[in-house]
Amino acid sequence: MAMLPFASVPKLPRRPGGRKAKVRFGIRQSWRRYRPSVVTDRRLLVFDSGRAPNARSLLGAFALDDVTMGPVDTARFGTSSFVLDLPGLGEVPFETGRKEVDDLEVLRHAVGAGV
């Protein structure tokens, strides 16, 4: 079991022509949001937290067999970025803090990316 309390999802990119699509609900929105995540032995749980890393509601529960994970890239200040392919949503980019490296390794192993 692992917990990624400071995982975040970048905002949606602008549409062609410079107009932004206002998406206010779901895992990926028009604004950058924290998406605390919990990895159990069977599921990946993604929560809504608004602007702070305190979970408010469950956004999605995904079976680990249905989730695939792309390579983990190290960004500035020790943060990590990766893409999860979630059923029904497609590819969703995530970013985590530098203190979540061990939990990120648990996620990688749980979805089979580390095997």
Task: Give the lowest-confidence range in 21-35, 66-80, 95-109.
Answer: 21-35
User: Domain boundaries in the chain?
Assistant: 2-110
* CA 28 from centroid of its chain's CA atoms: 9
Query: Class of the 2-110 domain?
Result: mainly beta
In this structure, how many other beta carbons lie within 10 angstroms of the beta carbon of residue 65?
A: 11
Gap between the Cα atoms of 108 and 26, Å rounded: 23
pLDDT at 115: 46
Task: For residue 64, give both structure tokens.
Answer: 């680990």
Gap between the Cα atoms of 91 and 82, Å rounded: 10
pLDDT in tens, 12-68: 776 666 666 676 566 777 667 788 899 999 999 999 886 666 778 898 999 999 999
